[in-house]
Amino acid sequence: MMNYIWSGMIVLAIIFAVCSGNTQAVSDAVFSSAEEAVTVTLKMLGMFCLWGGLMRVAQQAGLTDRFARLLSPLLDRLFPGIQNDSAAKSAVSMNITANLFGLGNAATPLGIEAMRRLKRHAPFQDTASNDMILFVVLNSACIRLIPTTVAMLRHDSGSHAPMEILPATLCVSFLSCAGAILLTKLFGRKHG
């Protein structure tokens, strides 16, 4: 799947570049992208270490298990594959919490920890299980309570009420998450 998407994107870009005479900009993008990937990874490296360390402390103190128990009724329904794995459940719930509070930098390393735990229950080691798919889809849809970055940008461009979009944002986020869960469950059932 990713093979088709990836090569499709690049071929499309090249065809378009030739048609519209943008070849110079596109070839510049080739080098700048590789550079940027390293810069971003280096930035992530620090974040990964920071949250990996903090989470280990929370784990050993039993804090993450408490969280998992709190979210357990919801998690058991969404991720039936990890019902009996409290470590996986706490990793998933930490990621969801970080997302809700808009701690995007923390959500990614916590999410990857959760993915590692979810993978242990996957029937095939190179194929995403239903639980993994739902987890990734939920992370790519947005489950944020307060859109701080958006409110900040609105404030900077002279909005009278930067937070007035909050009710609409919450409704849209909630409905698109519900739709995402429904679709993922439907597809998961069809293909086993």
Q: Which is nearer to another protein, 39 or 73 (CB)?
A: 39
User: Is residue 123 within the footprint of another protein (CB under 8 A)?
Assistant: no
Burial of 118 per CB tally in 10 Å (0-12, 13-18, 19+): buried
Sorted by sequence, the CB contacts under 8 Å of residue 109 that are 6+ apart come out as 44, 47, 48, 51, 52, 55
Q: Which stretch binds another protein (CB under 8 A): 74-82, 85-93, 130-138?
A: 130-138
Q: Segment 12-31, which members bind another protein (CB under 8 A)?
A: 12-14, 16-17, 20, 22, 25-26, 28-30
Inter-residue contact 148 to 162 (CB < 8 Å): no
CB of 78: closest distance to another protein in angstroms?
Answer: 14
d(CA 134, CA 27): 36
Q: Which is nearer to another protein, 73 or 126 (CB)?
A: 126
Binding residue count for another protein, defined by CB under 8 A: 106
DSSP symbol at 123 = S
d(CA 56, CA 96): 17
Q: Segment 49-108, which members bind another protein (CB under 8 A)?
A: 49-63, 101-103, 106, 108
Interacting residue with another protein among 5, 73, 84, 189 (CB under 8 A): 5
DSSP symbol at 124 = S
CB of 77: closest distance to another protein in angstroms?
Answer: 18
